[in-house]
Amino acid sequence: MTRNPQTGSEFSLAHLLDDIRDHVRPAFGRGKVADYIPELAGVNPRKFGMAVATLEGEDIGTGDCDEPFSLQSITKLFALILALNRGGDEVWMRVGKEPSGTPFNHLAILEAEQGAPRNPFVNAGALAVTDYLMGKTADVAGLMAGFIRFSGAVEGGAINDAVAASEITTAYKNRAIANILRAHETIDNEPNAVVDAYCRQCALEFSVRDLARAALPLAASGYSPRAGETIMAPRLVRRVNAVMMTCGMYESTGSFAYRVGLPAKSGVGGGIVAVAPGRGTIAVWSPELDRVGNSLVGTIALELFAQNSGWSIL
């Protein structure tokens, strides 16, 4: 049993997740699966998986919680952690920490601000972080897959080459962004090489159970209860959680904070990972997206979770 810190009452995480799975069902059909990456368009829109990993080592899931899905922008979170671990504050010379209030692949603001990305979670910032990691490894996606596996002590996960190829052939906007970044010397590598590395990273697939496990150090001051090691410094954890809280949910970051009250990062594959500091992590996957690109059903599920568990930092 788990204690609700707001009401003091005890509840079962397993029952709560199953209840949420049943409650969200009427919301299916209200969103739209991402189709601007052709390979993602074929995903079954009715998929739903949710998992919670706790600091005590509990690990609970419901629905399609063990089925790998396309992490997409959720990889920006792991890229940021890897970059901060390797370069510390040097990373902030390339990207800012302010919400953008614009779509994740917006161009005009980047040009107006001399190629300085607002934050690491818009595509411009993520491309700059990937470029930084390319200075440390020839295989950013491979490095990230290894890090996710180590952090969560999980074995699954793979790069979906068809999804990567599909995005690489249609990445017109990301190429434009990368070219602006190169023109302003925000990135060091050739724009096309950076876009390719970024698309491969976005094509990583893990299940929500593995995702919740891998993100657990963000709830545990950098310690991975599963790996039995500290994988990032506590001061970096605070920074990453702050950027998630203010920039993690596209242009709905404010309303997500209002509804859920947890730092989180979403991706157009329909996944969201949320952090409840000192308690655990929650990952959800449901491919239909709302108008800004967040999982519609996933957001409802997290709202229900926060309401009923009392796990909210606000």
Which stretches of the chain bind ligand GLU, using CB under 6 A? 72-73, 104-105, 123, 167, 174, 202, 267-268, 293
Q: How far is the CB of 28 from ligand GLU (least distance, A)?
A: 21
Cα dihedral 144, 66, 199, 28 sign: negative
Q: Which of 70, 198, 208, 260 is catalytic?
A: 198
Annotation marks residue 268 as catalytic: yes
The neighbouring-strand residues paired with 295 are 289
Q: CA 67: distance to chain centroid?
A: 17
Nearer to ligand GLU, 62 or 295 (CB): 295
List the Cα angle 45/243/91 in 5-degree steps: 115
Task: Give the 3-state secondary structure percentages of the chain, helix then strand then coil, rounded to 5.
Answer: 50, 15, 35
Nearer to ligand GLU, 133 or 227 (CB): 133
Q: How far is the CB of 98 from ligand GLU (least distance, A)?
A: 18
Q: How far is the CB of 71 from ligand GLU (least distance, A)?
A: 8
Residue 275: how many other CB atoms lie within 10 Å: 29
Nearer to ligand GLU, 82 or 204 (CB): 204
Q: Which of 43, 70, 76, 100 is catalytic?
A: 76
Which phi and psi (to 5°) does residue 70 adopt?
-75, 115
The residue number whose beta carbon is nearest to ligand GLU equals: 73
Give the residue from 186, 209, 274, 233 showing the smallest Cα distance to 69: 209
Q: In the 8-state DSSP scheme, what is residue 36? A: S
Annotation marks residue 97 as catalytic: no
Annotation marks residue 198 as catalytic: yes
Nearer to ligand GLU, 16 or 144 (CB): 144
Q: How far is the CB of 79 from ligand GLU (least distance, A)?
A: 12
What end-to-end distance do the CA atoms of the chain give, in Å? Answer: 23
- Active-site residues, by number, are 73, 76, 198, 250, 268
